[in-house]
Amino acid sequence: MVRQRIKKFWAGLALLSAEVVVVSALLTGAVVLFVYMVRRVFVLQNNSFDEKIFRALDPYVNESTNKLMVAVTFLGKHEFLIPANIALIFWFLLVRKHRWYSIKVPAVALSSLGLMFLLKNVFNRERPGIPLLEEAKGLSFPSGHALMSVTFYGLLIYAVYHLWKNETAKWSMISFLLLLILLIGFSRIYLRVHYTSDVLAGFAVGFLWLVLSLKLLGYMEHYSRRKLQPVVE
């Protein structure tokens, strides 16, 4: 019995250590990526990378792909994300009975939206001059679709990772959501409403903000639960 408990303890510790290493590496990569994009676009004013990507995609532009990319990009629009966030709040609150998850959804969504508008106005980059289908409103850097997709679908990944018990279903869903995030970002480049640097910066900022938000909310949840615990004399 004691040996089994010791094995479980060390297994749990190893898993936690692996998670810390992976998350730390991803956070470092996100910071480096964002700083690199800012330096390349605004300090060096080098847009050659963005233009190369546009030219590389030109041979693959066709009507069927256009329709697919429009459908994919819709999944990162506010017309979809607002009702999706509301539905997720009620699902956590009424179906799963996870009060703190129902708080995390609007907290992450609203703070991400505010951060997106702040950064767009700080960097004040115009969108690509010739959109593929129709012109998009607003500023370009970072991509709001990329940022908001990472925070919304990333929060779903966080919930699936912690709440789903079936390993096959869990990792299948996580893989699907990761692919969806990448496709939404790619759709913005394909449709020429964002530069590649906008999308990469959006991914980086979205991931950094999601991790920071969940960490802060986790501390708040832990603190509130400690206060509610009865004091044993």
Provide the CATH number for the domain around residue 59.
1.20.144
Question: Structural domain tally of the chain?
Answer: 1
Q: Is residue 178 part of a domain?
A: yes
Q: Which residues contact 43 (CB under 8 A, 6 or more apart)?
A: none
Residue 144 lies in a domain: yes
Q: With respect to residue 20, please indicate whether it lies within any of the assigned structural domains.
A: no
* 39 within a domain of the structure (yes/no): no
Within-domain flag for 102 = yes
| Chain segment 87-131, per-residue pLDDT in tens | 999 998 888 888 888 889 999 999 999 999 999 999 999 999 888
On whether residue 130 sits in a domain, the answer given is yes
Q: How far is CA 92 from CA 28, 85, 135, 151, 159, in A?
A: 31, 11, 37, 17, 10
Distances (CA, A) of 116 to 152, 166, 181: 13, 35, 17
- Helices assigned H by DSSP within 98-166: 99-123, 144-163
52-56, 59-63, 186-190, 229-233: least confidently modelled range: 229-233
Residue 148 falls inside a structural domain? yes
Average pLDDT, the chain: 87
Please tell me the pTM assigned to this model: 0.85
Question: Is pLDDT of 7 > 80?
Answer: no
Q: How would residue 227 be classed by pLDDT, with cut points 50, 70 and 90?
A: low
Evaluate whether 69 touches 190 at the Cβ level (below 8 Å): yes
Task: Supply the range of the domain harboring residue 98.
Answer: 47-228
Residue-wise pLDDT tens digits, 46-67: 889 999 999 999 999 999 999 9
Domain annotation covers residue 40: no
